[in-house]
Chain A
């Protein structure tokens, strides 16, 4: 099957039924082009041709007919597909500056949420994109080095462990795919992206905020301006290919940070977090009026 996600066309071949069902469930709103001429990634997920297709069945991932990773249990096929697609982008799409960060948009302006794994970044993103913000990506921020725009890559949002239940409650009519248990990251499931985000998957947004979020159980909410100089270095830490761009990487990053307000954000309740993010837009409107 062919799957377009933002700028990338993926050609996936797989005989695994459960994978097809999960893709149908979570990528249901995506436009599927019939037999396009060019694919960015040709991938396969398939069982080995030996006894391991029957006993504790495994799945191998192939990129251009090479298997770069060890196999995973067949029950993790969808999570594996998501990780492998991330890997394809991270290892191949160096025509973008890439960061490990979520990107959301409202009013044409993008917020980049950069945080190490386990900081509640995906949970926050899942909450916000179901309360008026548009999803560009939940863990891979792509910046076009030519114009500095954040490039949309709306895909299912990956949720880990407790956040699966948190989001199930927070987005009662949200669609959550199969749970892969006992992965290296614990239990992992994916939330179907909002239809609007999928429909606007070719529409970039100019970064306006860089936010370093952190979930802390029971913590007072705090939203503190963060100095731009340190924000640049901290954001660069989250970039996969910052150093590959050399001086150009610094220039792209400096331009991006110049345009943005940076904040450090600590939260414990999603509802409070959403209020803070909504107030960003109001502040922004005010400064625009007053200047």
Chain B
């Protein structure tokens, strides 16, 4: 029966519970954590709570394996970021680390054990050609894409077609914005770049703390599919816990969300992080954020969909898949105007045959 329970949420939010788990419970928890891409995170959480040594050997082996993989991915990211900086040194363009790379280089606590592989950077759109040329010259290549895909990325998306480094087997996404240019909401990339800050003790830059949170929320609720939804929510949770130390943080975050037109994704991020992961968010912020909520029936539908879509795959039902599909379609709807969307979907469906 444990299969139908959201074990992974239990383990992540309340690590001390795991000491009472039976092997049969662990059998479910390991699979749920793996399919939600948080097995390495679970290891880190249990290690910090000093209960990893009490985990029975068979499941502990899987946690240990995930720790090895996550540790190596962290090394890969550090090295990759160094290689990117070296490759771009000659063209003297600034770039900002996004997502996983920024979390790792900033040493944020939740980056430990976080499974990640691609590196994402943000740069001014006017510099993109220079950056692309420099990277291609230094050994990166375009992943195999047909003409349509190339065009899709260059005209309608917010990033270059992914670049691949064949020697190191790594993928690099170069963004000029955090959301597609065709979408309903346009955060101003100039503002993002201007507010970006040095990562202490490194030669790298990251978005300012409120923008990091807004990016994670935008990614999950505007741009993403929900296959990895739970992982994305743990990112939002981790960022809020790590960055909310200063007194002014919450007000800055609220202000910035309005300024960047990202208040709706922030509303969702706060709402579901609080609900699913007990993220410590001040009550006044939660109350204030209700102002950004959609209309009652829409919120009601969104609640139902997200709660269904965040169920780990093991416990997933047909409803979960349906909810994920609806959310996926929703994010497409938000990304492109209707005519372009229709054209894109038609092209994708014809190609599959």
Contacts and interface: CB of A to CB of B under 8 A. Distances in A.
A94 B69 contact: yes
A284 interface: no
A287 to B, nearest CB: 36
Given A64-B34, A64-B313, A92 B72 contact: no
A65 interface: yes
A38 B22 CA distance: 9
A245 B65 contact: no
B71 interface: yes
B75 interface: yes
B61 A93 contact: yes
A37 B59 CA distance: 11
Interface residues of A, number: 19
B277 interface: no
A95 interface: yes
A246 B313 contact: no
A124 B198 CA distance: 59
Interface in A47-61: none
Interface of A is mostly: loop
A220 interface: no
A243 interface: yes
B62 A37 contact: no
Secondary structure of the B side of the interface?
A: helix
Given A9-B58, A64-B314, A65-B313, A37 B23 contact: yes
B58 A38 contact: yes
Interface in B26-61: 26-27, 31, 34-35, 56, 58-59, 61
Interface in B65-79: 65-66, 68-69, 71-72, 75
Interface string A16-44: 00000000000000000000011110100
Interface of A: 7, 9, 37-40, 42, 64-66, 92-95, 241, 243-246
28 contacts: A7-B61, A9-B58, A38-B23, A38-B24, A38-B26, A38-B56, A38-B58, A38-B59, A39-B27, A40-B62, A42-B31, A64-B313, A64-B314, A65-B313, A65-B314, A66-B35, A92-B62, A92-B65, A94-B65, A94-B66, A94-B68, A94-B69, A95-B65, A95-B68, A241-B68, A244-B71, A245-B68, A246-B75
Interface of B: 22-24, 26-27, 31, 34-35, 56, 58-59, 61-62, 64-66, 68-69, 71-72, 75, 313-314
Given A64-B34, A66-B313, A244-B72, 7 more contacts: A37-B23, A37-B24, A38-B56, A40-B62, A64-B31, A95-B68, A246-B72
